[in-house]
Structure formats: structure tokens, C-alpha cells
Structure 1
Amino acid sequence: MSRSPYSSPAVSETGDPLLLTPGPLTTSRTVKAAMVHDWGSRDANFIEINRSVLKRLAAIANGGDEWVTVPMQGSGTFAVEAMLTTFVPADGEVLVLINGAYGKRAKRILEIAGRKTVVHETPEDTPPDLAQVEALLASRPSITHVFTVHCETTAGILNPIARIGALAARYGKGYLVDSMSAFGALPVDVRAMHIDAVAASSNKCIEGVPGLGFVICRRDALARTQGNATTLVLDLHDQSSNIEKTSQYRFTPPTHVIVAFHQALDEFDAEGGVAGRGARYRNNCRILLDGMRALGFQPLLPDALQAPIIVTFHMPDDPRFVFQRFYDNLKARGYVIYPGKLTVADSFRIGCIGRIGEREMRAALAAIGEVLEEMGITGDVAKTA
């Protein structure tokens, strides 16, 4: 008899494994279907679809006419690199707030671009120390920009982007945010949070497919970036200018991805936008945490720091628990999870986002219970190394 109280595994719409990851993630059948047609990038219908996508993204961030969405072909990191290397001038200096892999990646991008950095780093399970952040801003007038990650999926931690933005504004610094894994599910208000530019991508909480990053920019801040970019393809100023003048991308756009993203935005709006999407994800996260605790697993983060995007769990030190076997047996049942990425603890991660809801989360918990039984683990697995 199964040790799990949950229902039997659900079947995805298309029979594909459910991706319990931070993206790429499980998409709806209708988003997939939007990609079966071919579109010319100069076709009037495609141009109108693209225009609608860009306008709607700025609106999600509460950006009015003073903000513009600049698309960037490629994954989310393309958008982050475009943002950093366009907005930070050659003589700029960036205070990089790091508590995971994506803050470290931003620092590496800036170093390769020859931009100076100042680092405030905390462990992956710890938010920035805002008193220390303010002390750095007060003592180093050479700092021109502050960079942070909204939801650092290394641990799943939610960083206080509004409070960081208030500090950046108080000291007259530009403010750049990587909201890759949070945009669309957690509120981002570029006006209230004093954000100059925020980067995200198509394949996260809007539930599109990979291939398009974007940066929502304050127009007057973007206007001052001409000549800053360190590469041709990642120049946001040039990309934005060309789209405004000609309605065309400078280089071939991912047409199928954009049309699917348009469909995903329709479904996002139908669900109630950020409020509706965020509510479903929060419910998914609650079910996951309650169920995994009932099975004996220990989450890394306290609830107050946990974003409803992806949850990190400590790896049990039971010798019968072999992560690769656990992963493979879950995948065989139709659930793909993520290995850990921490330096502070051995761990694995389970995502809460994508076209999944309560039924799928409870079915995943049922599968986890079955796999534990197969591994001979029938007691509390919470004991960790």
C-alpha cells in the first residue's frame, strides 16, 4: 500500500512529462498549437502581434508611455547581458547583490565587459543585508548602478527588490533587476520600485516557450545608453531604435516563439494576470511544502523567504536515498525535477510554475511517495547530513 495520501499521477495534456522546474516549463496545448504556422517577420499580421506583446509586457510591470519593452532574441541570460552591457557605461561601477548563481553570472558578465563591480554577497539561503548595502552606497560615490535578482532560483529565495530600489533611488543610482523567474507571478512595479530596467523571458511565469528575452526600460534611461553596448547583437538602444523606426528586429526574430508568447499572454490575462497566476503558483507551493513535509523532507528556506517559484529540499542522508535513482524513477512516472545548485547544502529542487495546478502537484507527491517505497524508505526522511 502506498504511504502517500494523494491521488494517482495525473497525465499531462500531451502525454509529455510534467516539468517541475524553473523553466523551460510545461506549456498549454494551445500555446504549443500556436507554433504550427509559419510567419514572415515583415508580415503586417506578425508585426501587429509583436507590437501587442511588447506593449502588454510593459503594462504588466506598470510601465506607461515612459517605459518601453525591448525584445532580445535568445534565452533569459541574453536579456540580462544586454541590460547590463547597455545600461552600464564604460566608466560605470555596479553594486552586484549576490545570493546565488545568477548574481554570480551577472558579475561575470560585467567582468567580461570590462565594467567595474562592487559585490555584496550573502549565502544562498540569506537575503541581502540592507544596512550593509546602504553603507556601501553611502561610502562609494563611484557606484553608478545597483543590480539584484528578484527570485534567485538557486535556492528559491525571494529578494526584497522594492526595498533595494528605495535605497538605489535615495542615493541616485540606476537600478537593474533580473526578474527572470518571477515576472508575471510576483508583482513588479517599475514606477514604485524605481527600476530603470528589468529583464525576463518568454519561458517562465508567462508560460511561453524558450527563445525570447526582453527588457522593460525607462525611456529616458535607455536614451542615455547610446554607445555603451559592448556587442552589436545585445545593444538594447540600437534594437529599440530600429523597432520604433521600422517595426522590425535588426536580425531574424524567433517568429514562432513570439506568436506562442502572444497566445500565452492571452491565457495569462484570462487567468487574472499577476494576481491570478501568482495565486495558482502560491497554492502549488503550499501543497508541495505541506506534502513534502508530510513525507519527511525538510525545505531549505523558511516560509517568509520562500518564493512560490521553486522549492529547495535538503537531501536525506539515508544511504538508501540515491538522488539519481529518485530522479529517474520520478521521470519514469512523468515528473521531471531539478538537481540542487547550492554550496550551503546538498539538495534538490521542485518547481511550482508552468501549466500545472493542484491536481498535478498532488499527483507528483503521490509519485514521490511511491518512489520512496521502492527505495525502501518507509520512515521519516527528514534527517539530513
Structure 2
Amino acid sequence: MYEIMTPGPTQVRENVLAVRSLPCTNPDLDPDFYTFYKETCELISALLHTKNEALILGGEGILGLEAACAGLTEPGDRVLVIDNGVFGKGFADFVKMYGGDPVLYTVDYLEAVDVDALAAYLEKDHNFKYATVVHCDTPSGVLNDIARICPLLKSYGILTVVDSVSAMFGEEVRVDDYQIDLLCGGSQKVVSAPPGLTFVTVSPTAWTAMKERNTPIASFYANLMTFDGYFEKQWFPYTMPISDIRGLRAAFENIKADTTILERHAKIAGAVRTALTSCGLKLHTRKGYSNTVSVFDVPRETTAAAILTAVREQFNIMLAGSFDVLEGQVIRIGHMGENARAEKLEAVMKALDAVLPELGVPLTGSLTETYLEALK
């Protein structure tokens, strides 16, 4: 087995794996499971500091993103797509798929969104039904300030949709304080459960927008309205993946018990970035660094494939390249959830210390020693 140090999926703790092996009841008919599901959703809401309802959907994180757009988009709706990364731009595809008119606010992919510049843009054009923003755009590692962006959007009456799949619990998310109408998360990132589930929180304003549509939602599976009143009706729209949800619950209980999770992510991320830059490697983004993933440019002396292969074959560690416009250009180190442990990143630094010089990349110091010093 490889040591997975990618920006998701992440390592899964033993207690999460253990509960996934319990015998299954029938989740469609067992009233105890409806209660378990509801209480798990309430735990998610509590951990995200919101009174908004949470739902768990049987599908990988991208299902939540599509469901958000499916539920809020009607033909002809203007939707602001805040685009400073591959996933940010990707929201436009979902908007178009459901008949909306995506308006891209495209800015530098190497920096976090400048909130003041966005404010100036909105002064001139704010006729949007909702806006989408990615918290951490994982292909580049850029982190956007949703604590300022979402209240700015809401000041114009624009509904807010946030993809925090790769950031939440490694970065602070306070849904009610940030005025997020529809927040999307996934099981396989900081939550450190296996891939396969997405979860969302939905504000009363977002529920109203979905219920008062003039046209039906053009989907069944990517339709949050199918869960409306599920507990009172004791009815799910499809058979819920009970073992996955049990694992998710255990993972959230782990997060609840981890009172220093944000501090741990910040400390390790800072040490990794310090090591990379101090030893001559170049971080990909100029500003807006996420505490869940570090991304550095591939040195000119080698290739992304060569680095990834050598680290995997010589040290049994799996790092990640990127894709789309960043394919072959960067290396991504995940330090999220169960991967955000000091000893795991020390192993990554040791691997890079050995591999990069072999590939002709000159380092100006020891990544491992610099990392360990930065942790003190």
C-alpha cells in the first residue's frame, strides 16, 4: 500500500474503517437509521457553525456542486461564476447544463480573489441570481477569502454557493457568519473518510429559491428537493449507502474530538511552505495559500512525471501532479485531515531531498531539516 499524500483522497483512520464493516440493516425501512442519518447531518451543521439543514448525498463530492446548480438554476438565470482556478471555472459547465447564463469573473489564477476588486465589479453589475466560489481551488492550491466574499455578494441579494470540498476543517468555515446559502463538502478530503459521499448545508433562503421555481429541477439524482421532509416521511429518494454513512459519522466524531485541528493544519502547512521556498523551490501561487495543500512548480531540470514516479517507486509515497491548464506544471503535496501529521510530511520531505538531486534539481538546503526547524 502506498502512503497517500495527495490532496484527497486521504488516509482513513482505523475506527472509520471498522464501523464500515458492521452488518447492514435496510436503510429504507429501519427507523433507527433515519434517526442516525438525521443526527449525523445535525453534527455536520454544528461543526460548520450553522443552523442550516445539512444533507448527505450518495455520490462523490462533485455531486453536491451539480446539485447546487441544478436546484438554483432556471433557464435564463444570470449566474456569477468567480473564476480563479480550474474548479472555479468548472461551475460554468453546470450552470449551462441547467439552462443558466454563466457570467465569468475571471482573475489571475496565481492569486486569491481580490475582494476589493470584486466589490468594484459588483457596483457596476450585480444582477445575478446566485454566485459560485471555490474556497480552495485544489489544482493550484489557491485559497479564497469566503468570509469576505460571501457577505459582499449577499449585500446585493445574491445567493452564495461555496465549494469547500478541499478546505473545510483544514480552514475555518462558519456558514452562518459567512452568509453561505449552499455549502458543498466531500468525504475524502480533510474529513478523511473514503470517497463516495458529498454533504451540503442549505439555508432557508436557498430552500425557498428551490421551492418557488417556475420550472421543475431537471434532475432526479442531483436534486436536493427530493430530500425535503425525508425524516417526517421516513423516506429517502434512493437507498442510502449505509456503510459509507457510518464511516462518515465516525470521521466527523474524530473531527469533533480534535480541538486543535485548524492549528495543526496551519502549523504543518506553514512548515512545508517554508521548507520548499527556503530550499530553492517555487510555490505556484503568489498569494492565497491553503493549509490543506502545498503546490510547487516543477523545476526546469525535470518533469512532473519523473518526480511523482521516483517518489512513489523509491519511497512508496504518492504525491499528485495537476490537470487541465496545470497538467505537467506542478507537484501537489496534500496535508489535510489524517495526512496533516508532522511525521507524514517529514517522510515527504525526506523523499524529495533524495529524489530531486537525483533528477538534477539543485536544492539550496535540506528540506527535511528546514521543515523540522519550522515546526518548532
- Shared topology, TM-score over 0.5? yes
Q: State the one-letter code of the partner of 1:27.
A: V
Q: Distance in 1 between matches of 2:87 and 2:193?
A: 21
- Tell me the equivalent position of 1:233: 221
Q: 1:289 to 1:131 in 2, by over 3 A?
A: closer
- What is the CA distance between 1:181 and its match in structure 2? 0.7
Q: Which runs of 4+ in 1 moved over 4 A?
A: 376-381
1:65-117: CA deviations, max 9, x gaps? xx101222111111011011102333421111011111121111111111111
Match of 2:319 among 337, 351, 375: 337
Whether the 8 Å contact between 1:158 and 1:306 is mirrored in structure 2 is yes
Q: Distance in 1 between matches of 2:246 and 2:159?
A: 33
Do residues 209 (structure 1) and 209 (structure 2) align?
no
- What is the CA distance between 1:263 and its match in structure 2? 0.7
- What is the CA distance between 1:294 and its match in structure 2? 4.2
- What is the CA distance between 1:346 and its match in structure 2? 2.1
- Tell me the equivalent position of 1:95: 80
1:310-331: CA deviations, max 9, x gaps? 111011111xx23323212211
- Tell me the equivalent position of 1:77: 62
- Tell me the equivalent position of 1:181: 166
Match of 2:282 among 295, 298, 301: 298
The aligned runs of 1:2-17 (5 Å cut-off) are 16-17=1-2
- Tell me the equivalent position of 1:260: 247
1:35-57: CA deviations, max 9, x gaps? 11232213344333212210011
1:207-245: CA deviations, max 9, x gaps? 11111111101124313312552201111122233x233
- Tell me the equivalent position of 1:8: none
Whether the 8 Å contact between 1:30 and 1:263 is mirrored in structure 2 is yes
Whether the 8 Å contact between 1:73 and 1:253 is mirrored in structure 2 is yes
Aligned-partner SS, 2:53: strand
* Number of positions where the alignment pairs a residue of Structure 1 with one of Structure 2: 357
The aligned runs of 1:159-178 (5 Å cut-off) are 159-178=144-163
Q: Distance in 1 between matches of 2:296 and 2:256?
A: 32
- Tell me the equivalent position of 1:350: 333
Q: Distance in 2 between matches of 1:268 and 1:353?
A: 12
Q: State the one-letter code of the partner of 1:322.
A: T
Do residues 284 (structure 1) and 268 (structure 2) align?
yes
Match of 2:300 among 317, 333, 338: 317
Aligned-partner SS, 1:339: coil
1:138-186: CA deviations, max 9, x gaps? 3335311111111111211110112211221211111111111111222
Q: Distance in 1 between matches of 2:244 and 2:7?
A: 18
Whether the 8 Å contact between 1:337 and 1:350 is mirrored in structure 2 is yes
Q: 1:28 to 1:337 in 2, by over 3 A?
A: same
- Say which structure, 1 or 2, has more relative contact order (CA 8 Å, 6+ apart): 1
Match of 1:158 among 143, 146, 164: 143
Bigger mean CA deviation after superposition, 283-292 or 195-204: 283-292
Q: Distance in 1 between matches of 2:185 and 2:131?
A: 17
1:284-320: CA deviations, max 9, x gaps? 2123223323443111234x510111111011111xx
TM-score by length of 2: 0.88
Q: Distance in 1 between matches of 2:45 and 2:111?
A: 30
Percent identity between the two aligned chains: 21
1:5-63: CA deviations, max 9, x gaps? xxxxxxxxxxx322222211111122112211232213344333212210011112221
User: Which 5+ residue runs of structure 1 have no aligned equivalent?
Assistant: 1-15
Aligned-partner SS, 1:316: coil
- Tell me the equivalent position of 2:258: 271
Bigger mean CA deviation after superposition, 116-125 or 368-377: 368-377
Whether the 8 Å contact between 2:10 and 2:336 is mirrored in structure 1 is yes
